[in-house]
A and B are shown apart, each in its own frame.
Chain A
């Protein structure tokens, strides 16, 4: 089958990834992540000074700011801020940096659907670039159930999102893993650690769990990509030090 963006042939195919790290000079860490034509840049400053009223005595205060591409920040951006902050709070080892602040700013550079998942992936790369201690790495992906064909499409574009009956965004960590044994697949699917799950629209329980399964498999590719991206960056840095 041919997807609406004409570059993909399968319903379970992700758009090509692209990422770039350490782009900004003022931030402690920065990264850009692309899902095809959707691009989000994230900057991380921290651990740094925090206002007295936001100070926590035993942990770092995590602040997330989401900036849309067009227009002033609205309710949607506030909702994304909350989603990202609450997903990251258990992930960041904030106990190591008490009474400090970690400020994460997310800027949408190009919008072609699945912005929240792109933002999550950009954020984790930026946190790695900044050297913020983390418990695990997250990976995010979006999928929709098409209104006409009832098919589950992975990583939808804006055009595909317009035809969606329900939209699901999943964020998984890289600690739990499913063995590739096909017999155990159905049993182990429930043991996966889901960090964030947001669904809108009309869907059944079976559809939800099927989406979760498909997204989980796709997120493995995202994790692999993040690993490769960080590896390459470290190799380049080593070369620069030793040359």
Chain B
């Protein structure tokens, strides 16, 4: 089922409100929606709620043979298949343009930025390496799937613990969870995506668009930064042309947002770590 276009009333009201300096959900232009992180009982499961957008990420690992030309590198795989649960517009088996874009952005932000150290996943060079798999499930689509997915993915990777391994010569022992405490992954930095939507002939830029705002937007841009003010990825695929000053302005806003979100993620992880200890 295709999504119905917004009615003329909705569209005009949204654009007029933006021109007057307001967003219809009451947020300021550079405000993210309320971010809620919920961890599962097992390591590597996190549910992210960004307003009404809901994403679930689950990390799992397995031991496999590495590529022959890269014998010391482990694997990191992302699965971002959109299911009809998030929106009836997503069909099983058929990839929409949006799905392709979300998938590519996550790959660029997470994998290409070397957030996870794949060399650290090596067990025995040329024979055994860890393959880390991140399954991202979209449960509810109310705009800005990319940012929510990125937060879910990196938080799940930070939360995940892989089984401890001892290598004595040729002998590899993978300890079960009862034998030894599992080990966290080595994550170099925390990339966070910030998506901007453009309106009113390129004059208005808003952060974290809702679904309605996405339907009405003229263009969009996603900047992936980390806390150290390093740009991991920048994606502006088409849409209305924007001036350089505006792009730089967006980057400045993104720096602030990324710092806030990273602090929130780390606080949530610490709180969950305490809960885990209390539970045991």
Contacts and interface: CB of A to CB of B under 8 A. Distances in A.
Given A25-B52, A48-B1, A67 B83 contact: yes
A65 B60 contact: no
B79 A26 contact: no
B159 interface: no
Contacts of B135: 69-71
Contacts of A71: 79, 133, 135
Interface string A79-122: 00000000000000000000000010101011000000000000
B92 interface: yes
Contacts of B42: 110
B58 A69 contact: yes
A105 B56 contact: no
A234 interface: no
Task: Give the interface SS of chain B, mostly helix, strand, loop or mixed.
Answer: loop
Contact of A25 (B58, B133, B142): B142
A2 to B, nearest CB: 17
Interface in B15-70: 40-42, 45, 47, 52, 54, 56, 58, 60
Contacts of B56: 107, 109
A11 to B, nearest CB: 24
Given A26-B141, A71-B133, A72-B81, A48 B88 contact: yes
Nearest to A32: B139
Interface in B110-140: 133, 135, 137, 139-140
A60 to B, nearest CB: 14
Contacts of B47: 109
Interface string A22-46: 0111110000000001000101010
B84 interface: yes
B85 interface: yes
A188 interface: no
B83 A107 contact: yes
B140 to A, nearest CB: 5
B140 A24 contact: yes
Given A25-B142, A71-B133, A107 B85 contact: yes
Given A25-B142, A26-B141, A49-B1, A65 B92 contact: yes
B174 interface: no
B40 A26 contact: no
Contact of A45 (B58, B84, B139): B84
B87 interface: yes
A7 to B, nearest CB: 13
Interface in B80-95: 81, 83-88, 92
A103 B84 contact: yes
Contact of B54 (A24, A45, A69, A105): A24
B211 to A, nearest CB: 8
Given A49-B1, A107-B83, A67 B137 contact: yes
A45 B56 CA distance: 20
A34 B128 CA distance: 37
A49 B42 CA distance: 39
A41 B56 CA distance: 11
Contacts of A67: 83, 85, 137
A238 B60 CA distance: 43
Given A69-B135, A107-B139, A26 B41 contact: no
B61 to A, nearest CB: 10
Contacts of A24: 54, 85, 139-140
B79 A105 contact: no
A110 B40 contact: yes
10 contacts: A23-B140, A26-B87, A26-B142, A37-B41, A70-B60, A70-B135, A103-B88, A107-B139, A109-B56, A110-B41
Given A37-B41, A72-B81, 14 more contacts: A23-B140, A26-B88, A27-B140, A41-B139, A65-B83, A65-B85, A65-B92, A67-B137, A69-B58, A70-B60, A103-B84, A107-B85, A109-B40, A109-B56
Interface of A: 23-27, 37, 41, 43, 45, 48-49, 65, 67, 69-72, 103, 105, 107, 109-110
Pairs A-B, 4 closest by C-beta atoms: A105-B85, A43-B85, A24-B140, A25-B52
